[in-house]
Amino acid sequence: MGGRLHLFDVDHTLARGSSGRLFAEAAARRGLIKLRHLALVPLNYAAYRLGDGGVSFLERDFPIIKGVERAVLEELGREVFERKLKGRLRPELLGLIASIQAEGGSIVLATSSLDFIVRPLADYLGADALLASSLEFEDGRCTGRLAGEALFGVAKRDAALAYARARGISPADCAFYSDSIHDLPLLLAVGSPVAVKPDHRLKKESKSRGWALMLT
């Protein structure tokens, strides 16, 4: 399976579809955001899939949930996982993770999704760590701003390598599983890159480099 540390992207890799979209739909039903904001989701997704891998639509603030309590967002994250996201997990990846854990390997989720959306997934998998984007909170309420950078592209690579380095693990002993060309920086950095259900650009790149492919 290659490597002591196995890093997994979430959206379109571990899970079919977008965790952020599922959360936004639930937030709209709960009245936390307006229905008109959902119209932006397909446009954002298209920008993500067609973008050049540089600046992402994810690298922005979130004024639509400004003032919402952290506890409310976390509770909704748990609800979305149980009712929606859990049923979208790929059985092949769940089996792989179970095998890695049985052999003593470490599992880390590395995603640009927001931490309160994917924390329940990390807990469900028994992951060793979650590397995710975070929002800023003051007095328990969301400011509508990101706390630091979105874990996207180079930022995801840097966070993953810092996590490995802090534990004395070489990048050569890491595997990373992703569907997206936007994750190329981290895929290039690890010893065992794996393209899972890859977009057409990552599939082409993977074939040219002789990388492992799953679910193609």
| Mean pLDDT per 10-residue segment, the chain (216 residues) | 84 95 91 66 50 45 88 97 98 98 97 96 98 96 92 96 96 97 97 97 97 96
Q: 82 and 120 in contact (C-beta within 8 Å)? A: yes
- pLDDT for position 57: 41
Which tens digit of pLDDT belongs to each residue from 140-179? 999 999 999 899 999 999 999 999 999 999 999 999 999 9
The parent domain of residue 103 ranges over 5-214
Distance, in Å, from the CA atom of 202 to the CA atom of 23, rounded to the nearest integer, reads 26
Per-residue burial over 140-169, b = 16 or more CB atoms within 10 Å of its CB, e = otherwise? ebbbeebeebbbbbebbbebbbebbeeeeb
- pLDDT for position 40: 54
Number of domain units in the chain: 1
User: For the domain that residue 135 is a member of, what is the CATH number?
Assistant: 3.40.50.1000
Q: Report the predicted TM-score, pTM, of the whole model to 2 decimal places.
A: 0.90
